[in-house]
Amino acid sequence: MRIRFRGHAPGSGVVFGQTANGMVQRRTENDSRPLARARRRRKVVSRPARPAIILPCVLAALVVVMLVAAALTEAIVLDRRQGRRCEERQQALWLAESALQRAVHAAAKSPDYRGETWRVPAEVLGGRRPGVAIIRVEPVAAPRPGRRVQVEAYYPEETVDRTLYQREAFVNSPSPGGKP
């Protein structure tokens, strides 16, 4: 790198020069060091650290992570709730089908059967909660003589937010001799 000298201070032995990129350099007349060496001696002024900028960035990243975690947690909760409701619907369906078969069988055996409230314990259902089925049997004249069996199955029995499944069937009336 070439240095153009502009001048010197008389008697001091100090020479001022300008490098090709416009930087001013102060050297002594007897200094024969290369320019790169002189640059190394120069004190490098570093920028001050900016910790105030790091804190908002970290906080923003934490907020984003928390929002994503909250969304994932909500999705997991909704998925579990939906799975539980699907299970309850299926259990109510099976309970209604069983109650309908029970009512048809009882109505075929006895002409006096009018229905019942059938409580099924949790151990029989293989779950954690019991179920209930309300069976009603009514005589019907039209379109053909017989009885209508209506079943309302609730699962689980004790909660306010329970699943209802309804079934209905028609059964021929037993003949007076007791045989259908």
Structure tokens at 10: 């008389």
Which among 3-7, 65-69, 101-105, 162-166 has the top mean pLDDT? 65-69
CA nearest to 27, candidates 50, 49, 57, 6 = 6
Q: Can you give the residue ranges of every domain in the chain? A: 53-171
Strand partners, 173: none
132 near 117, Cβ under 8 Å? yes
Residue with tokens 């609730």: 154
Task: For 102-130, give the secondary structure using H, E and C.
Answer: HHHHHHHHCCCCCEEEEEECHHHHCCCCC
- pLDDT value at position 173? 67
- pLDDT value at position 42? 60
Report DSSP state, residue 108: H
159 near 85, Cβ under 8 Å? no
Distance, in Å, from the CA atom of 122 to the CA atom of 164, rounded to the nearest integer, reads 17
Higher-pLDDT residue of 6, 161 = 161
Tens of pLDDT along 102-147? 999 998 888 888 999 999 998 888 878 899 999 999 988 777 778 8
Distance, in Å, from the CA atom of 35 to the CA atom of 142, rounded to the nearest integer, reads 116
Structure tokens at 52: 């105030």
String of DSSP letters for 61-73: HHHHHHHHHHHHH
Tens of pLDDT along 42-92? 666 676 666 678 888 999 999 999 999 999 999 999 999 999 999 989 999
Distance, in Å, from the CA atom of 124 to the CA atom of 121, rounded to the nearest integer, reads 6
Higher-pLDDT residue of 180, 144 = 144
Distance, in Å, from the CA atom of 90 to the CA atom of 118, rounded to the nearest integer, reads 18
